[in-house]
Amino acid sequence: ELSFPDQLQVGLSVDRLGTRSIVYALAIFREGSGGALDLAATGRFVHVYVDAQTRRPVAIPGEIHAAVSRLVRAD
C-alpha cells in the first residue's frame, strides 16, 4: 500500500523492442527504512507507433529505436 508522503522510485525497462512497437516494463518501489527499496507494484504497456494521418502502424524512427535499445532488459 502506498500513501502520501511516501517517497517512490520508478524503474523502466524494455521487454521487447520490435520494428513498430515497444513493450515497456515498470516497477514502482517505496523507499523504506535505511534506504531499502520495497517493491510496491509492477506493470507493462505497449507503445505502437502510428502515422498521424492514416492512423496505421509505422516503423519506429531510427533515433528513437537507437535510444530505446539501451533499455532492453537482458534476461
Q: Report pLDDT for 55.
A: 96
Q: Report pLDDT for 17.
A: 95
Contact (Cβ atoms closer than 8 angstroms) between residue 14 and residue 21: no
The H or E element spanning position 68 is helix 62-68
Write down the CATH superfamily of domain 8-71. Hotdog Thioesterase (3.10.129.10)
The tens digit of pLDDT for each residue in 24-70 reads 999 999 998 787 899 999 999 999 999 999 999 999 999 999 999 98
Three cell numbers at 3?
500513501
Q: Please determine, for residue 73, whether its predicted confidence score (pLDDT) is greater than 80.
A: no
Q: Please determine, for residue 75, whether its predicted confidence score (pLDDT) is greater than 70.
A: no
Residue 3 in 3-state DSSP?
coil
Rounded CA-CA distance 2/58 in Å is 38
The tens digit of pLDDT for each residue in 21-31 reads 999 999 999 99
